Structure 1
Amino acid sequence: MMSHPTKTQSGVLYVVATPIGNLADLSERAVSVLSEVDVIACEDTRHTQKLLQHLGLRKVMLSVHDHNERDRIDQISEHLESGRNMALVSDAGTPLISDPGFPLVQALRVRGFTVTPVPGPSALITALSAAGLPTDRFLFEGFLPHKAGGRRDRLSPLVNETATLVFYESKHRILETLSLMMEAFGDERPACVARELTKTYESFYHGTLADIAVQLQQDADQTKGEFVVMVAGNPDPATATSFDMDKLFRLLLVELPPKKAAAVIADLTGENKKALYQRALEIQGKA
């Protein structure tokens, strides 16, 4: 594929990380860039306006979110082509990390524009740095699907993953997600949950998945806010040859009840029997 030369006379898009809670975490460089750019592309103009007011800045803003991002690519390209410098920010943290921006940055790179990162806060790295779990290897899974079935489908292939697993979760689903993780990984899998990072009520919960679920259930206030869920990798992953588990389920369910089919696959793979039973029910159309 032919590479595109950088448009040296055009404006630059700065991808700027902003605080995830504590405004004092905004870097000096980020303040300088936000002060000097001509236009700020932001996930929510109302949210970014509060940050700009805190900095004493007035800027032209352009909303760029999940629902309009692709439609904005030509408009932002025109700004850059005209020599205007722009900043891309999300509501909090580093843009593109479970936030809008990937289609835009990808398209601008292909078109030859300069895209420059201005690093700073990220809930992912902030949580890992203080979690007390291995960080030499980690797998970021972002937000799980809204529906329980979809979350089970995402968690199931991760059972034998040896790297630390990292997820984002909301207050509406945190307890249910922990329950599904216990089904998939077992009650005793070590974990850490971080809540409201860098904010007044920042909290870290350590222990097994079961321990943490109990801690959160005992105090309703502890299920409020934004969460980063970190689960230790499997120290003894199964060595079974990979195969199409759903296909095997369908074959077994012709002759066996769901509970027995789940037990057979659990013996083969070492995966959690309870989670496999739920999957058998879903495949059979009973869940």
Structure 2
Amino acid sequence: MNIFRLVYAPFGKRLGIKDTRPRKAPNNPKLEAAYRASPKLKQPCGLAKQLDMTERQVERWWRLRRSQDKPSTLVKFCENVWKFTFHTGNFLFGLFILWDKEWLWNIDHCYIGYPHQGVTDDVWWYYMVSAAFYWSLTISQFWDVRRKDFWQMFVHHIATVSLISFSWVCNLHRIGTLVLLLHDCGDVFVEAVKASKYANYQRTCDALFLCLIVVWIGTRIFIFPYYILWSTTIRAPMLLPMFAAYYFFNALLCLLLCLHVVWTFLILQIAYNTIQAGMMEGDIRSSSEISDSPENSNHSTSNCVNNKKNT
């Protein structure tokens, strides 16, 4: 993206982030073909015999080749700053357009008059921009470096896209806008913590991480289930007759809540490690790449970056 090269990359360099490139693996067409067939080194002994190399030479080539596919710290910083920019802008835009909407202040208005609820231009744009962003994350995930939390994030993106699409088709856009607003609020701090960590602004990172814990738990663990889910599961049936599609909509919301609980546990794990170490040594919702090296293979749960591990 041009914005990465023209804006975010120079900004990252001014903060002292170096665009270091790993040493390239020697040209070896047969090893390259084996790597493209499966990035995980499964049978180094067999490859070594086929290519008349030692097993150690094959493993060294494989490590170098894997490191070529990993983005540099500057690239990861740019990615997080871009997401931070989007979530901040989208949250402020959502807050601006919903400020005068009655359902922001009284959630019962999400159902009163349903399904004859018109869509204003600002809500239309809010929905389309959010849908485009999450569709892009879902698709680009298959081309980006594979992360350890690939499937968790894939399920999250699919659930989010399904909720956006389903709520739009079923004219449940009012409750949908509240869910979008709530999620953008927490994601602002997720990306800010990552970016400050890459820039080595440790004190800023620690302060933002504390804010993240407060905002994340407040929005994802309290407001989302006790306000949004309570409204869709308990209050809504009191105000309008239920239909089959509505239960599917609620099931997707419950799936999001399950992911929130898992990620909250992992964030609190990092917080505990932070207290023990005296600084934030982990990352949020694991952005780390999968590695075959022994020192990385013993680390962490599926989507938590443990101590001393790169994002």
Shorter-chain TM range is: under 0.3
Q: Larger relative CO (CA 8 A, sep 6+): 1 or 2?
A: 2
**What TM-score do the two structures reach when normalised by structure 2?**
0.25
